[in-house]
Amino acid sequence: MFDVESNNSEWFKVTQDDSENLDQPSPDATVHLNPDEQNMVPKLLENVSAVTDGNTSFEAIPVHTWKRRYFARLVAIALVVGGIYYSTEGLFVLVFLFIAVVPFEKMFPRHVGQKTRRPEIETDMSYALASPVIGIAAGVAAIIVGILSLAWIPGLLIRPYVAKIPDEYMPIVGVLLFDTTVYWTHRFYHEIPFLWKFHAIHHSTKTLDWASGFRGHPFDGTLIAPAFVFLIVAGFSPELTGTLALIQVLLGLFLHANVRWRLRPLHKLIITPEFHHWHHTNEADAIWTNYSTFLPIWDLIFGTYFMPKDRRPQIYGVDEHIPAGMAEQLLWPLKGMRNPLWILRHPFKAIAAGFRFAKLLIREMWRSATRKRGSKPQTAVIEAMTPTNSNSILKSE
Gap between the terminal Cα atoms of the chain: 49
Bridge partners of 395? 32
Contacts of 11 (CB under 8 A, 6+ apart): 58, 59, 60, 61, 321, 335, 387
Alpha carbons 199 and 186: distance in angstroms, whole number:
9
Contacts of 361 (CB under 8 A, 6+ apart): 47, 192, 194
Alpha carbons 18 and 392: distance in angstroms, whole number:
9
Would you tell me how many other CB atoms lie within 10 Å of the CB of residue 395? 19
Helix (H, G, I), strand (E, B) or coil at 392: coil
pLDDT score of 39: 54
Give the CA dihedral 200, 202, 203, 208, nearest 10 degrees.
170
| Local confidence band at 345 (pLDDT 50, 70, 90 cut-offs) | confident
Compute the C-alpha angle 325/321/56, nearest 5°: 115
Bridge partners of 316? 281
Asked if the model's pLDDT at residue 26 lies above 60, the reply is no
Q: For residue 11, give the nearest of 393, 289, 390 by alpha carbon.
A: 390
pLDDT score of 373: 83
| Local confidence band at 203 (pLDDT 50, 70, 90 cut-offs) | very high
Q: What is the mean pLDDT of residues 144-149?
A: 85
- Its pTM surpasses 0.95: no
DSSP per position, 236-249: --HHHHHHHHHHHH
Q: For residue 140, give the nearest of 51, 227, 250, 222 by alpha carbon.
A: 222
Contacts of 393 (CB under 8 A, 6+ apart): 18, 21, 24, 26, 28, 29
Contacts of 278 (CB under 8 A, 6+ apart): 286, 289, 290, 306, 307, 313
CB of 324 within 8 A of CB of 5?
yes
Residue % of the chain over a pLDDT of 70: 78
What's the pLDDT tens digit per position in 300-343? 999 999 999 889 999 999 988 898 889 999 989 888 777 778 88
What's the pLDDT tens digit per position in 262-296? 888 989 999 999 999 999 999 988 999 999 999 99
| Local confidence band at 239 (pLDDT 50, 70, 90 cut-offs) | very high
Compute the C-alpha angle 236/238/239, nearest 5°: 105
Higher local confidence (pLDDT), 80 or 16? 80
Would you tell me how many other CB atoms lie within 10 Å of the CB of residue 87? 14
CB of 83 within 8 A of CB of 90?
yes
Residue % of the chain over a pLDDT of 90: 44
Helix (H, G, I), strand (E, B) or coil at 110: coil
CB of 171 within 8 A of CB of 228?
no
Higher local confidence (pLDDT), 12 or 360? 360
